[in-house]
Amino acid sequence: MAKLIINGVETECRDGVPVLQAALEMGLDVPHYCYHPGLSIVASCRLCLMEMKMKHPKTGELSWSPKLVPSCQTPARDGMEVRFDSEPVKRNQRNCMEFFLLNHPLDCPVCDQAGECYLQDYSYKFGEPTSRMVDQKYVNPKKDLGPHTLLYQDRCVMCTRCVRFADEIAGTGELCVTNRGSRAEIDVFPGKVLANPLQGNVVDICPVGCLLDKDFLFKQRVWHLQSADSICPGCATGCAIRVDQNNNVIYRLKPRYNPGVNDWWMCDEGRYGWKYAQSGERLRGPLMRRGEAVEPLDWLAAAGTVRFRISEIATERGANSVAVVLSPFMACEEAWLLATTIRRIAPEATLVCGPAPMVDQDQFFPDGANGNAKFTISKEKAPNRRGVERIIAALGGNTATFAEFCTQGAEGKFAGVWLSGGYPTEWVDKDLIKAAEKIQFMVLHDLFSSKLVDAAEIILPACPFSERSGSFMNAGGKIQPFDWAVNPPDGGKRDGQYLQDLAEITGLYQPAAIRAMMARQMPEFKTIHEAPEQPAHQH
Amino acid sequence: MSYETVLLRNVGVAGSQTLATYRARGGYQAAQKALTTMSIDDVVEEVKRANLRGRGGAGFPAGVKWTFLPKDRTVTYLCVNADESEPPTFSNRVLMEHDPHQLIEGIIIAGYATRATVAYIYMRAEFTEQFHILQKAIDEAYAANLLGKNILGGDYSLDCYIHRGGGAYVCGEETGLIESLEGKRGWPRIKPPFPAIEGLFRKPTVVNNVETLCNVPHIIERGADWFLGIGPEGSSGPKLFCVSGPVMRPGCYEWSMDITLRDLIEDKRFGGGMLPGRKVKAVFPGGISMGIVTGDELDMKMDFSDPGKYGLLGLGTAAAVVIDDSFDIRSVIRNVARFFSHESCGQCTQCREGTTWMYKMSDRLEAGLGRREDLDLLTEVSGNMGMMPGMSICGLSDGAAFAIKTIIKKFRGELEGYVGTENLDAVRIALEVVN
C-alpha cells in the first residue's frame, strides 16, 4: 500500500496504481477520457493532468512543479503529494474542454449519448459555457463500422479506447486511426468490418456519442431508462450486466464491472441475445388440459392441482415414479424450492438436471489461449448448470442424468413429471418426446411452445432471466445474484413466486431468504459473489 | 575567420559516394581505430568528453545518451534519424547524398559503442535519390566487410537496414520514429520508459541524428580535444547550417558554432547577402519550430545557448529561412500554422485541436477578417500547448507554439494594423461568403 496526499487529504492505495485511479477511488471527480483501467495507458487526452510536488534538482527542496503531469501515467508512490484543485489544473481542464468542443457539433438533442455523455458532464462541470472559436467547424464523416456499430466521427474525442479495446481485449485489431490532427479519424482497416464477438464493448467504453449501437439507436432517451442489476444468462461465464428498461420494455443490456468474471466487458451474444425475452410467442398461462381442450387455470388452482396429482401418482404408482427436471436456466433458489417441494410430496422423486446447450469450445480473448485470457465466452450456453447440479447433489436420493431420464422415461418408468425448460431456443429432442409420450401426468414449465405441449397436462409459463430473480452459479463456481428488471406479461407470475406458492411458503419471494434456508445444507450459499461498485466517477 | 571543413570535406569531390574515394580520402580509419584498438568504454568516453551535442534539434549530448543504456542488456538497437522533415532543413540530405560512407562509418562506431546488433536508418519518405545512394553505399560496405558479420575481422557484427518513412513530420520525434519503425502509426510514446530502456521492439535503443553520427568518426580519429577546440564552449564541433529564402547563395554550409545569423545570411562564403532590392524582415533561424527573429536580431549566435536569449526554443536544426520585406507577416503566420495543423499527429488534445484552431484563425487573419482579440487568443492558445508545460507527449506542439508565439510577439505592431474587425457577426457573415 502507498500513502499519498491528494488535494491535501491523505489517502491509501495499492502500490503502483495510477494516481488518477487513486483519486477516483477517493471519490474525486477527475475528468478523463483516454484512461480506462482495463486498457493500456496512452496519456493522450491530457485532461487528467495534475500538479505534483517535486524535488528541486539543486536544493532538494520539495515544491509544486510548474509542469503539469498526467495522473493516469503517474504511478502512486509512498509519500507523494499531488493536487487537482489548483488553478493551473483547472485552467487546463477548462482549456481542454474548449479544445474538445471546437469541432464538436452541438447535436445533443439528437445524439443517443446525451444524458450519459462525458462531454456533456465535463463541459458542464469543468468547462466554459461558450466557445471562443468563431471559425467554421470541421465536420468529420459518419461511418458504418459493421453490423452493429455506427461511428459519428464529428463527435470523437480521439481517446482511442476503442482501438485499444480491439487490440488488447478482443485481440482482433480491426480498428485504427487514420489521417492526422483534427482530421484524425477512427476507422476499420481496409477490407475489415467491426464484427468481432466482443465489439459491442467499444460503444460502452466510448465516453462520448461517437460510437453508437444500431440496436439502441434512436430507441430511447437514456434518462427514461431504469436499470436492474442482472447476470447474463447467455453462457456459463455469468457476466454481470445491467438491464435497461422503460415501461416494462427492455431496450439494452450493458456490462457491469465484475473483476475476475467479466471485468468491464460482455460479449455480443449476450448483449443482443435477450430479444426472446420479449417475444410475443411466449407461452401464456397457466393452462390445463381437459380431454381435447386446453383451458385457462388460475395460479392457485394450478398449484393445488400439481400437488394433488403428484401425491396421487406417488401413492398409486409408487414413490419412485415421480421425477422433476430442473432447468439450467433456473435460479438456484427456484431449483431448490421446486426440488424440495416435489420431494416433500414424493420423497423418492428422481431429480434431473436438464440439458445445457453446448457448442464446441470456449472462446478465449484476446488470443484464443486460455492461459492469460482477459475474457472468456463459455461453450456452455446456460447460466446455471453448476448451481442446479450442486442442489441435486446436496439433496441426494434418486437422481438421474438427463439422458438416463429420457431412456427410463421411454421405458415408462415415470408417471408424474415436472419438466422445467426456459430455453431461449428450441431444445426438445426426439428422446425427450419419446419419454414424454409415456408420462401420465406432466407439468410443463417452459418459455415457448413445443411438441411437449401436446403431452403436458398442466402448462405453466416460465419467465426469462429479465423477469426472474435469484442467483446463478457460473463456470468458475461463483454464486452471483441477479434481480428482475421487468414484470412478466399479463397473467404471468415470477417463477420464484409461484414456486414458493407451490411450496406453501407464505409471503413474497425473497431470494436472500431462500438462500438462508439453502445455506443450512449448502454453506457456500451463505456468502455470494456480488459485483463491486466502481468508483462513482470511474468510466 | 578560418575554418577547416570536416563534415562536408568530400562534397564536390568526384565519386564522393563511392567506397574507393571515401577510403582514398582517409575514410574508415576511425572505424578501424575504434574497433581494433579501442574498448567500448573508450569510445563512449571519448564521445562523451567531446560533448557532442545532438544535431537533430534538442542538443542532448550523444555520449551521455549512450550511457543511459542498461548495463545488463542483451539486445540493443541503433536507430538513425534520417527523417529530416523540419521545414527549410536539408543538411542530412546533403550528407547522405554526397558522403554516405561518412554516415555508415559513424553508424559502425556508434553501433560498436552501444553494442548494437542492428542499425535502422529511418529515412524520410521523400528522399528517393538519397535512398538509392545510401543503399548502394551500404551494399558496398557489406561487400568490404565493413558491415555484417565480424566487421574488419574483429568480433563485432552489425546489420544495417534503411527503413523508408511514410511522410509524417512527427516520425522525426524519436519515439514516433520507433513506433513507425515497428509498423505502427507514428504516434510518439509516453515516457518513461525512455528508448534507452525500452525502445524499438521494447528493447534498449539509441536514436541519433545523421549529422550527429557523421561527427563521431572525426572525434574518434582526431580526439575529443580537437573537437572541443572548435567553436564556443558548450557548442563545440563542426556544424552544418542551411540558409534559404531570398538570399544570393541559398545552401548548406559548414562552420563552427561561433558564427552569427548575420554572417550566415550576409557573408560571401555563406548566404552571400540578400537578393538585390530585398531586405531581411524576419528569419526562422533553426527550422520554423524554434521561433522567429526580426531583421534587427541578426547578431544572434548560431550556437546552443544564444537563441534562448532571443525568445527562441533553441538552435533547432540550424536551418535559417529568410523572409524579406515583400512578405506580409500574416502569410508567414498562416503558412506556419498550416504546417503544424497538418502535421500534428492527433494524439494529444491541445496540439490536435490547438494547431487547427490557430490555423483557422491565421487563415482568417490573412483574409483580412482578423479581430483584435484574435492576436491575444492566438498567444493564449499557443501558450496552452506543448510538452514543456505538460500539455503534450512530444515536442511537436512546443514547436507550433513557439513559432506562433514569437511571430505575434515580435510582429505585433504590424499585425495590429491588419486586425480591426470588431463585429463578430460581420466576421461570421464574411466567413460564410469565404467558405
Which has more pLDDT, B429 or A148? A148
Indicate whether A79 belongs to any domain: yes
Q: Which candidate in A42, A44, A45, A72 is best for mutational testing of the B interface (most B CBs within 10 A)?
A: A44
- Residue in chain B closest to A183 (alpha carbons) equals B346
Same domain assignment for residues A273 and A302? no
Chain A / chain B CB contacts < 8 angstroms: 107
Indicate whether A531 belongs to any domain: no
Take residue A518 and report the three cell numbers written for it. 439453502
Same domain assignment for residues B74 and B146? yes
How deeply is B78 buried, as exposed, middle or buried, from its count of CB atoms within 10 A (0-12, 13-18, 19+)?
A: buried
Local structure of A292: helix, strand or coil? coil
Among candidates A42, A132, A179 on the partner chain, residue whose Cβ is nearest the Cβ of B190: A42
| d(C-alpha A439, C-alpha B4), whole Å | 108
- Helix H or strand E segment including A315: helix A299-317
Instruction: Identify the band that residue A57 occupies on the pLDDT scale cut at 50, 70 and 90.
Output: confident
CATH code of the domain covering residue B388 = 1.20.1440.230
The residue from A246, A278, A310 where one domain ends is A278
The residue from B228, B247, B274 where one domain ends is B228
Average pLDDT score, chain A: 95
Instruction: Give strand ranges (E) for A312-438.
Output: 322-326, 350-353, 363-365, 375-377, 399-400, 416-420
Question: How many structural domains comprise chain B?
Answer: 3
pLDDT of B433 higher than 60: no
Same domain assignment for residues B88 and B153? yes
Indicate whether B9 belongs to any domain: no
Domain that holds residue A81: 2-88
pLDDT of B333 higher than 60: yes
pLDDT in tens, A215-265: 999 999 999 999 999 999 999 999 999 999 999 999 999 999 999 999 999
Q: CA of A185 to nearest chain B CA: how many angstroms apart?
A: 9
Indicate whether B233 belongs to any domain: no
Task: Report the 10 Å Cβ neighbour count for B260.
Answer: 17
Among A184, A96, A44, smallest CA distance to B345 is for A184
Indicate whether A34 belongs to any domain: yes
Same domain assignment for residues B300 and B354? no
pLDDT recorded at residue B368: 86
Indicate whether A530 belongs to any domain: no
**Exposure string over A190-204, b if 16+ CB within 10 A, otherwise e:** eebebebbbbbbbbb
As a whole-number percent, the residues of chain A with pLDDT over 70 amount to 100
List CB contacts (< 8 A) between A92 and chain B.
Answer: 384, 391
pLDDT of B299 higher than 80: yes
ipTM of the complex, rounded to two decimals: 0.92
Same domain assignment for residues A265 and A133? yes
Which has more pLDDT, B423 or A429? A429
Indicate whether A537 belongs to any domain: no
Same domain assignment for residues B90 and B171? yes
Take residue A469 and report the three cell numbers written for it. 430473480
Same domain assignment for residues A259 and A297? no
Question: Can you give B44-93 as a three-state secondary structure string?
Answer: HHHHHHCCCECCCCCCCEHHHHHHCCCCCCCCCEEEEEECCCCCCCCHHH
Same domain assignment for residues B143 and B210? yes
Same domain assignment for residues A67 and A107? no
Average pLDDT value for residue range A130-144: 91
pLDDT of B428 higher than 80: no
CATH code of the domain covering residue A15 = 3.10.20.740
Among A182, A29, A50, A208, smallest CA distance to A118 is for A208
Same domain assignment for residues B194 and B213? yes
| DSSP letter for each residue of A447-492 | SB--THHHH-SEEEE---GGG--EEEE-TTS-EEEE---SPPSTT-
Same domain assignment for residues A77 and A101? no
Phi, psi of A122 (to 5 degrees): -70, -35
The residue from A278, A299, A322 where one domain ends is A278
Same domain assignment for residues B155 and B175? yes
Average pLDDT value for residue range B384-405: 94
List CB contacts (< 8 A) between A133 and chain B.
Answer: 357, 360
Instruction: Identify the band that residue A491 occupies on the pLDDT scale cut at 50, 70 and 90.
Output: confident
Indicate whether B6 belongs to any domain: no
Domain that holds residue B283: 238-321
Q: CA of A62 to nearest chain B CA: how many angstroms apart?
A: 19
Instruction: Identify the band that residue B424 occupies on the pLDDT scale cut at 50, 70 and 90.
Output: low
Same domain assignment for residues B152 and B180? yes
The residue from A220, A243, A278 where one domain ends is A278
| d(C-alpha B203, C-alpha B268), whole Å | 48
Same domain assignment for residues B224 and B346? no
Question: How many structural domains comprise chain A?
Answer: 3
Q: CA of B195 to nearest chain A CA: how many angstroms apart?
A: 16
Same domain assignment for residues A390 and A497? yes
Task: Report the 10 Å Cβ neighbour count for A280.
Answer: 6
Same domain assignment for residues B262 and B185? no
pLDDT recorded at residue A538: 96
The residue from B228, B258, B291 where one domain ends is B228
List CB contacts (< 8 A) between A179 and chain B.
Answer: 346
pLDDT of B430 higher than 70: no
Contact of A52 with chain B, judged by CB distance below 8 Å, is answered with no
Indicate whether B10 belongs to any domain: no
Same domain assignment for residues A294 and A387? yes
Instruction: Identify the band that residue B435 occupies on the pLDDT scale cut at 50, 70 and 90.
Output: very low
List CB contacts (< 8 A) between B345 and chain A.
Answer: 180-181, 184
Average pLDDT value for residue range A195-214: 97
Indicate whether A535 belongs to any domain: no
Indicate whether B12 belongs to any domain: no
Instruction: Identify the band that residue B423 occupies on the pLDDT scale cut at 50, 70 and 90.
Output: low
pLDDT recorded at residue A370: 83
Give start and end residues of each alpha helix (H) in A52-156. Answer: 87-101, 118-126
Among A294, A325, A289, A513, smallest CA distance to A401 is for A325
| d(C-alpha B7, C-alpha B16), whole Å | 12
Same domain assignment for residues B50 and B191? yes
- Between A201-215, B50-64, B324-338, B408-422, the lowest mean confidence (pLDDT) is in B408-422
Indicate whether B8 belongs to any domain: no
pLDDT in tens, A159-182: 999 999 999 999 999 999 999 999
Same domain assignment for residues A256 and A364? no
Indicate whether B7 belongs to any domain: no
pLDDT in tens, A276-297: 999 999 998 899 998 888 999 9
CATH code of the domain covering residue B126 = 3.40.50.11540
- Taking a C-beta distance cutoff of 8 angstroms, is the pair A244, A138 a contact? no
Same domain assignment for residues A342 and A272? no
List CB contacts (< 8 A) between B356 and chain A.
Answer: 102-103, 138, 181-182
The residue from B261, B290, B321 where one domain ends is B321
Same domain assignment for residues B99 and B150? yes
pLDDT in tens, A75-125: 999 999 999 999 999 999 999 999 999 999 989 999 999 999 999 999 999
pLDDT of A12 higher than 80: yes
- List all residues of chain B from 253 to 272 with a beta carbon under 8 Å from chain A: none
Average pLDDT value for residue range B50-61: 93
- List all residues of chain B from 291 to 350 with a beta carbon under 8 Å from chain A: 341-350
pLDDT recorded at residue A60: 87
List CB contacts (< 8 A) between A96 and chain B.
Answer: 349-350
Indicate whether B412 belongs to any domain: yes
Same domain assignment for residues A187 and A59? no
pLDDT of B375 higher than 80: yes
Question: Is A138 in contact with B389 (Cβ distance < 8 A)?
Answer: no
Contact of A73 with chain B, judged by CB distance below 8 Å, is answered with yes
Average pLDDT value for residue range A42-67: 93
Same domain assignment for residues A49 and A161? no
Indicate whether A155 belongs to any domain: yes
pLDDT recorded at residue A319: 82
pLDDT in tens, B80-137: 999 999 999 999 999 999 999 999 999 999 999 999 999 999 999 999 999 999 999 9
Task: Report the 10 Å Cβ neighbour count for A372.
Answer: 8
CATH code of the domain covering residue B270 = 3.10.20.600
Q: CA of A365 to nearest chain B CA: how many angstroms apart?
A: 22
| d(C-alpha A312, C-alpha A201), whole Å | 53
Question: Is A70 in contact with B190 (Cβ distance < 8 A)?
Answer: yes
Same domain assignment for residues A352 and A390? yes
pLDDT in tens, A305-354: 999 999 999 999 988 899 999 999 999 999 999 999 999 999 999 999 99
